């Protein structure tokens, strides 16, 4: 090999290494994309856009060093049936994981928990077919629906999470109810309708749920 040929080969080799390193850097720079499939609690009903659940969760995660985009796929008034009907087109090729927060409107309408379970299971089947990690966020039925309804509804989320191997966060409002807070303390974090959290309430919800979303990001990156 002549000196000139060796020099060209060395240059080509260095160029190939530089391209590979550049591609690796580009690949590492790709943000994680999480779709939050839900209802008005996810959509940010009654709040300025930046105070809603999705923008606050994204800001919380980014403040902790996660290169993540959280996509707002919340539709006010949506039931689990509505979520199932649109889950396919809510997910893109770029979607890396999904947060599922549905069931509140099923409760408000007194929908049979058997139907709610079937719809949520359908959503998890779509995620499984796409090999998408999921964080399933639960809700608890109030006592006034009766013990049988409450037992059936409350069991949906942990049982499905176990069946489909998803991550599980027991209660969307956990950040408002944990500790020894009295009912009047919780009301301070709610909007006037008593159903949707205000901006400070969302902040507390995000702080409680955030570590579970970090666990979802870890699953995506594994």
Whether 196 sits among the annotated catalytic residues: the reply is yes
Residues contacting 163, CB < 8 A, separation 6+: 121
50 secondary structure, DSSP code: G
- 74: three-class secondary structure by DSSP: strand
CA distances from 55 to 18, 44, 71 (A): 37, 9, 9
Q: CA 3 to CA 8: how far, in whole Å?
A: 9
pTM of the model: 0.86
Q: Quick one: pLDDT at residue 14?
A: 53
**What distance in Å separates the CA atoms of residue 157 and residue 159, rounded to the nearest whole number?**
5
Q: What's the confidence (pLDDT) of residue 182?
A: 66
39, 90, 106, 196: the active-site residue: 196
Active-site hit among 40, 66, 96, 116: 40
Q: Is 193 a catalytic residue?
A: yes
Give the architecture (CATH level 2) of 31-221.
3-Layer(aba) Sandwich (3.40)
Ranges of the chain with pLDDT below 50:
3, 6, 8, 11, 15, 17-19, 23-27
Token digits for 99?
Answer: 């947060």
Active-site residue flag, 76: no
Which entry of 93, 180, 193, 222 is annotated as an active-site residue? 193
Q: pLDDT tens digits, residue range 31-58? A: 999 999 999 999 999 999 999 999 999 9
Domain boundaries, the chain: 1-30, 31-221
Q: Within 13 A of 205's CA, how many CA atoms are on the CB side?
A: 29
Query: Whose structure tokens read 């979520």?
Result: 83
């Amino acid at each position: 090999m002549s000196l000139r040929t060796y020099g060209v080969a060395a240059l080509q080799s260095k160029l190939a290494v530089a391209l590979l390193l550049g591609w690796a850097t580009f690949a590492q720079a790709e943000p994680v994309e999480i779709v939050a499939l839900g209802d008005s609690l996810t959509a940010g009903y009654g709040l300025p856009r930046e105070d809603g659940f999705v923008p606050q969760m994204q800001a919380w995660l980014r403040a902790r060093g996660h290169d993540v985009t959280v996509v707002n796929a919340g539709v006010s008034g949506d039931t689990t049936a509505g979520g199932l009907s649109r889950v396919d087109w809510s997910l893109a090729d770029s979607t890396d994981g999904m947060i599922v927060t549905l069931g509140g409107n099923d409760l408000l309408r007194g929908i049979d928990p058997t139907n709610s379970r079937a719809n949520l299971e359908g959503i998890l089947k779509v995620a499984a077919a796409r090999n998408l990690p999921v964080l399933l966020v639960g809700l608890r039925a109030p006592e006034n629906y009766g013990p049988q309804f409450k037992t059936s509804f409350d069991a949906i989320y942990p049982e499905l999470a176990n069946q489909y191997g998803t991550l599980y966060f027991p209660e969307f409002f956990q950040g408002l109810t944990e500790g020894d807070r009295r009912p009047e303390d919780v009301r301070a974090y709610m909007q006037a309708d008593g159903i949707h959290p205000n901006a400070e309430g969302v902040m507390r919800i995000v702080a409680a749920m955030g570590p579970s979303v970090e666990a979802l990001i870890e699953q995506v990156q594994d």
